[in-house]
Structure 1
Amino acid sequence: MPDTDKIGQYDWILERGKRMKTQALMLVLKVAFVLNEALGEYAAAVESKDREEILKKKRVWKRWEERWTAARMHKDTHTMFYVASSYVNVDILTPEWFDDAFSDDFLDSKTTVLSMKPKPEKGELFYANLQDRHFYMDGTDPDWAARFGLNDEEDCRILKYHNRKKAIDCGLDFGNMISMTMAQDDGKYYRCTKFLFTLSPEWIRELADKFLAYYKPHREKTLNMWYDRAANNYAKAKQDLATQMKRAIEVDGEGNKTGWKVILMSEGQGNIYQNEEYNFMMECLAEQNPRLPKVRIDFYHCKPLRCSLEDARMKKKANAKGNFVVVKDKSTEKLPIHRLPLESTNPSDSFKYLMMKRDLRRKVGGARKVNVGDASVR
């Protein structure tokens, strides 16, 4: 596992890993399981010495062997990427080797021995109060997961905590990556259940199509949308991005009404400054203010959002009055576009607009005056 913060270490091996087509490899594995069962049934038939049964089971076995070979030879299965720790070699390295490795520098050993991706220290993080409790791993409905076939596109029915009879809240951030975080309040938690995105040259129409396909089985077709104030800049000319997204969801690419009603919730809202976001998120994620929702994020269905929140770093910057304030380090947004979903702060901005609703912003810190940093809108 490379540590790119250190001189001479590069992430080329992780780049190779991105070539892996997981769905294609899973198909090989699943076909192999069936092949093994067919081979076992053929072996049992041979032992029974029933000639007719032997021929029948052999045909089944050979048919699955052909399918397995075809799956393995597909162009999408040429790269297999798997991260393992040094413990796979414990018989060779010996327990004493591990004792020495961890006694030297535990933090460094987490990367070099356990193959854990390096993480910034808590004091470097913008979302410093983010904890394990803010994520849940049981968000996939096992019944619906079993109903979707190998080549089926999943939809919102697979989300265990998604209520198809309730409206959906959405945080939206525009740019060369458009990020879309969906959430619902279940009475106890405010759950972020799904994250969608597009990368340039894909744009608003493509993201709307993804949304419409994924939420096709949703019944209460109301979407409450919060977004960057800059998305309203051209509202009078009816060219603003928020209105374009609203239209793209309400009317499909062929001009047909979809039945969805999109409510633009950020009209007239002012800038959300990064220092205010830092203060808000510190208080919200601490979960000590009963007036703020307790947020929970789907570990798997919101993976880009999770990675963005976990890795976002902070930095201090002088404002117009010469005071130092905390802002988000957005340098990762200059990475190559294919790296943005899992390595940039872009997804976290959609989370910001979703959480920092006008009424909730008033409930942070009482009447305390908030230090102001540079606006995060670009």
Structure 2
Amino acid sequence: MNRQTVRIDSLSAYDDVEVRYSTWLKMITDLMEPQNLFLILGRGTGKTTDYLSERLMNICYEMPHSYIALVGNTYTNLLKNVVPAIIEGWNRKGWIEGIHYVVDEAPPDHFDKPYKQPFEYKHTISTFTGNFFNYISMDTPSSGAGNSYQHLAGDETKYLEKTRIDRLFPALRGDPTIFGKSPYYLGVTFTTDHPNIIMPGEYDWILDKQKEMKQQQIKYLLQISLELNKTLASAIKAGRKRNKKLLSTLQNKMKKLSVLKQRLRKGSTFFYKASSFVNVNVLRLDFFKTALAALGEIEFNTAVLSQAPQVEAGQRFYVAFDNSHIYEDGIIRENYYRYKTGDDAETFSTDLKYCIPNKTLEIGADFGNMISMVVGQTQGNQIRILKNIFSVSQKTEKVCEKFLKFFAHHKHKVIDLYFDRSANAYEEVGRDWANEMRKFLEEWPDGTKTGWTVNLMSRGQGNIEQDLEFKFMKAIMNRNYRELPELLIDKYQCRQLISSMNVAKQIVKKNAKNITKIFKDKSSEKLPKEKLPMYSTNMCDALKYLICRRPWLKLYKGKQKDFSDPEVLG
């Protein structure tokens, strides 16, 4: 059974007609039911709980027994946010758990069954229409392996990398003799707020989908859908008045319009971009005032007004940093089976594929208005950055507490800590940041031992000039010298670090000795606290101290004939 949206204001007088508020955009997407739907909507528009959830309900009614993939950037985000939001939308619209759907368990006997038997039910949804939903995340590539799907759907599309999504499209398949009549067959549904390409880790491929929309086809589809809806409303009223002749005429008209609509829906793509003002009647003006104050003008323009970001001028400091230094398969998916959908799912070091539990951990730390910690391991001729941790409270114990929780089950509890020269300098004025961090890593607040041993690796090391960092990091990332390690960073556990590296800019100016050198633009460290983790250079400075260690700098110095900076090595 297909659910047809009927906009009939005059029927509100009837007791058995449910009146709902809806925006004009929601109504036309419900009326048209295109095969492919791409929506860029501002905050507060109900992307997941309204648009996505109801469309998934309609797919279940029209294409029962099918497999549907729910796509997210991380597995924890699917479990904690995306899927619960979809289910919240279903509950608002009348579906009841246990009657219309079940989560993380085999469906009851009275449910229809999918067209093929699932292998497992953990982290899945089954509906009474026989539909089977499976979760696929970008940080667990194996989560989509081995299955075929008749429809793909995803929220927060701006976090989904195009190359990864493209790999999913071959999984859109299935018996056309079973599902081919539905225009939803082999279709996709993606929603998001506007991608901000200035923001690392956000992708704007969804904007290209506008080119796939055939405007004339969509115009015809909308016209036919509106006429069909109008005819359906008239038929309902004729039926209530028991006007059989008029009802028969209207029903014949509906059949013809329905056939035409089905033809137009097949192969249709609807792309639309709307600001939060599309839902202004519900959000009210105060929402926009509060959002502007909280987000700032740049983020407000993209997140609320759905405007393309303005790319700022300037050169990147980490010029050689690219996707070759980022790995995406760092999570052991099966470990997440300990959680149910809706749980406050968390990741720990035991969930990291490349964390060696019986090997020393190495930490780069940066202190100041934000305390940043980058955790890695040297593994052969590679250094893998496994996790970044931060606190904007300037409380060292907060960062250490997060570390101890995340790495609680690490077996070899030894840390090599690398830090800024300023941490040494502060020792002279009464606050020894490095020793303070060592204390909070080795002892609980009550003074009992945590079991960890911390080695302070940067004691006595001199200043690492930004010009040196620029050249050294470039050499590391370009693999100029095989004696230096290959740098690999976990895409999902180090989101703030990757962002910090991508937004860091260089400034070319003269130093105190009137020599032209390259500096890192540190103005971002004056941003509001909530923006520091993603937009400031604090986190990439923590990586600097981890990588620019004395043995590797010494090796680099030996490769540079014109290199002369004895202070660097302390």
Q: Is the 8 A contact 2:388 2:493 kept in 1?
A: yes
Q: Tell me, what secondary structure is at the counterpart of 2:362?
A: strand
Q: Tell me, what secondary structure is at the counterpart of 1:327?
A: strand
Hey, what does 2:361 align to over in structure 1? 168
Hey, what does 1:197 align to over in structure 2? 390
Unaligned runs of 5+ in 2: 1-41, 46-75, 113-125, 129-190, 195-203, 218-301
Structure 1 range deviating more: 310-319 or 23-32: 23-32
**Equivalent residues in 2 for 1:52-63, closer than 5 Å:** none
TM-score for the superposition, normalised by structure 1: 0.72
**Equivalent residues in 2 for 1:1-378, closer than 5 Å:** 23-29=80-86, 38-39=99-100, 45=110, 82-83=193-194, 85-89=206-210, 90-91=212-213, 93=215, 124-149=315-340, 150-200=343-393, 202-235=394-427, 239-364=431-556, 366-370=559-563
Opposite residue 365 of structure 2, the aligned amino acid is L
Distance 2:326 2:510 in 1: 34
Opposite residue 465 of structure 2, the aligned amino acid is Y
Give the C-alpha shift of residue 87 in structure 1.
Answer: 4.4
Opposite residue 405 of structure 2, the aligned amino acid is A
Give the C-alpha shift of residue 146 in structure 1.
Answer: 2.6
Q: Is the 8 A contact 2:363 2:546 kept in 1?
A: yes
* Cα pair distance change 1:45/1:173, threshold 3 Å: same
* Cα pair distance change 1:238/1:248, threshold 3 Å: farther
Opposite residue 363 of structure 1, the aligned amino acid is L
Opposite residue 222 of structure 1, the aligned amino acid is V
Opposite residue 127 of structure 1, the aligned amino acid is Y
Listed one character per residue, the Cα deviations across residues 131-189 of structure 1 (whole Å, up to 9, x for unaligned) are 21100000111122332452243211111100111110000000111110000122242
Opposite residue 29 of structure 1, the aligned amino acid is I
Distance 1:183 1:172 in 2: 11
Give the C-alpha shift of residue 362 in structure 1.
Answer: 1.4
Q: Is the 8 A contact 2:467 2:517 kept in 1?
A: yes
Opposite residue 352 of structure 2, the aligned amino acid is L
Distance 1:129 1:246 in 2: 33
Distance 1:284 1:15 in 2: 44
Opposite residue 110 of structure 2, the aligned amino acid is A
Distance 2:416 2:44 in 1: 37
Q: Tell me, what secondary structure is at the counterpart of 1:191?
A: strand
Distance 2:434 2:398 in 1: 15
Q: Is the 8 A contact 2:43 2:193 kept in 1?
A: no
Q: Tell me, what secondary structure is at the counterpart of 1:176?
A: coil
Hey, what does 2:63 align to over in structure 1? none
Task: Give the fraction of aligned pairs with identical amino acids, expressed as a percent.
Answer: 30
Distance 2:506 2:474 in 1: 12
Q: Tell me, what secondary structure is at the counterpart of 2:100?
A: helix
Please tell me the root mean square deviation across aligned C-alpha atoms, in Å.
3.8
Give the C-alpha shift of residue 324 in structure 1.
Answer: 1.0
Q: Tell me, what secondary structure is at the counterpart of 1:233?
A: helix
Opposite residue 307 of structure 1, the aligned amino acid is S
Q: Is the 8 A contact 2:417 2:458 kept in 1?
A: yes
Distance 2:498 2:430 in 1: 34
Q: Tell me, what secondary structure is at the counterpart of 1:269?
A: coil
Distance 2:344 2:480 in 1: 45
Listed one character per residue, the Cα deviations across residues 222-276 of structure 1 (whole Å, up to 9, x for unaligned) are 0100001111224367730100000011001222210000110000100001001
Q: Is the 8 A contact 2:370 2:532 kept in 1?
A: yes
Q: Tell me, what secondary structure is at the counterpart of 1:45?
A: coil
* Cα pair distance change 1:91/1:81, threshold 3 Å: closer
Opposite residue 505 of structure 2, the aligned amino acid is R
Distance 1:346 1:252 in 2: 26
Hey, what does 1:51 align to over in structure 2? none
Give the C-alpha shift of residue 115 in structure 1.
Answer: 8.7
Q: Identify which of structures 1 and 2 has the higher relative contact order when contacts are C-alpha pairs closer than 8 Å and 6+ apart.
A: 1
Give the C-alpha shift of residue 213 in structure 1.
Answer: 0.7
Structure 1 range deviating more: 151-160 or 336-345: 151-160
The alignment covers a number of residue pairs equal to 312
* Cα pair distance change 1:358/1:61, threshold 3 Å: closer
Distance 1:146 1:44 in 2: 24
Larger radius of gyration: 2
Distance 1:116 1:306 in 2: 22
Distance 2:531 2:43 in 1: 11
TM-score for the superposition, normalised by structure 2: 0.49
* Cα pair distance change 1:245/1:39, threshold 3 Å: same
Hey, what does 1:99 align to over in structure 2? none
Hey, what does 1:106 align to over in structure 2? none
Give the C-alpha shift of residue 195 in structure 1.
Answer: 0.4
Opposite residue 348 of structure 1, the aligned amino acid is C
Unaligned runs of 5+ in 1: 1-12, 48-59, 63-79, 96-110
Opposite residue 173 of structure 1, the aligned amino acid is D
